[in-house]
Amino acid sequence: MLWSEEQHPPRKRKRSVLRRALIVVSLLLVLVLVGGGLYASNYYKWCQGASGPQVAQDFSIPQGATGAEVISSMKDQGVLRCDAVNRYVVKKEGTTFLAGDYTLSTNMTLDSALAVLAKGPPPTPTASMTIPEGWRLSQIAAEAAKSLGVSEHEFLTLAQSGGYSLPPYLPKGSSTTEGFLFPKTYEFTKGNVTPDAVISRMLEQFQLEAKGLPWGNTKKLGITPYEAVIVASMIEREAANDAERPIIASVIYNRLASGTPLYIDATLEYVDPNPSDGLTESDIAMNSPYNTREIKGLPPTPIASPGLPSIKAALQPAHTDNVYYILCGSSHRFTPSYQQFIQWKDQCL
């Protein structure tokens, strides 16, 4: 049969072929999408899974690290299989991490790793050291050795090496840190303590405590900040209570102004070779710059670590005419009169 031009049978056939081709392409696209989705789903699960030997890993999260950075670090250390997919999971869930040190292992699942991090870092083991007011370097060194496990000999050697300064209080070139290791309870990380770290920390504490005190008063008192700490150390060793500290300070400054020896036995006790027998006649006659019965002026260094009340008293002494004091019972009596002092001496001693 012949087709007329108006019926156009070849175009109809072309449409049919085109339709079948489109169906085939659509089916292929569906298969590709389904296959790709299955692959993506399997990869997603694989990334969050784990296999292989587990070896303990020390893992640190620095302050301010993002979730993505934490995941990448775990991937780099072999804790997790993937980083890109797992970063997405962490971001999607809004997970945050606390900075600190953790113990993880290689080949962990994402869930198990996140469970460890969610607990936060374990507390760092610490050791404490308590230094009371009025202790000397030798006592501090012994306590540091006992409480922190540092070398007592190395501590003393460093503290008396002349290698530390704390301007304007402890000038450069000072032979010792005596008086500047601030009395307080300190916490240190166990297993990571050195004598230098302890000394430096205590000097920093002195600077922190001393910062707000009226050090400008030293000029009108006629002393340096270093000498103020020497005065404070004597007050610390002599005072029986806080109320006495400014009065003892006034006695010291009054004697310095008059050129009278201080007669403070605590300075002799500082160099007493045998403290167990008290101050003997030979101790009192000792030729030493710390023998304030014989020398005029201050001893060359502090004799102990003063607390804040004693430092304040050295900078803000009471205004008195007193030049004598004597311990009577549990407190001191003060007087400007030598006759009164002798009378109390007979009564109290």
56-118 and 125-211 in the same fold: yes
Residue partners of 83: CB distance under 8 A and separation at least 6:
71, 72, 74, 75
pLDDT of residue 195: 97
N-to-C CA span, the chain: 150
Q: Helix (H, G, I), strand (E, B), or coil: what is residue 232?
A: helix
Which sequence spans correspond to the domains of the chain? 56-118, 125-211, 214-349
Closest CA to 52 of 78, 76, 70: 78
CA distances for 320 relative to 259, 303, 314, angstroms: 17, 25, 14
pLDDT of residue 209: 96
In the beta sheet, which residues pair with residue 187?
128
Question: Which of 2.170.130, 3.40.50, 3.30.1490, 3.40.190 is the CATH number of 125-211?
Answer: 3.30.1490
Report d(CA 283, CA 304) in Å as an integer: 19
Take residue 176 and report the two structure tokens written for it. Answer: 């010792």
Report d(CA 89, CA 44) in Å as an integer: 10
Report d(CA 61, CA 235) in Å as an integer: 48
What values do phi and psi take at 263, rounded to 5? 55, 40
- CATH number attached to the domain at 56-118: 3.30.1490.480
pLDDT values of the chain reduced to their tens digit, one per residue, 349 residues:
444 445 555 555 666 666 666 665 565 564 444 444 444 567 778 888 888 889 898 999 999 888 888 888 988 999 888 887 777 777 777 778 889 889 999 999 988 888 998 888 888 788 999 999 999 999 999 999 999 999 999 999 999 999 999 999 999 999 999 999 999 999 998 878 999 999 999 999 999 999 999 999 999 999 999 999 999 999 999 999 999 999 999 999 999 999 999 999 999 999 998 888 888 888 898 999 999 999 999 999 999 999 999 999 999 999 999 999 999 999 999 999 999 999 999 999 8
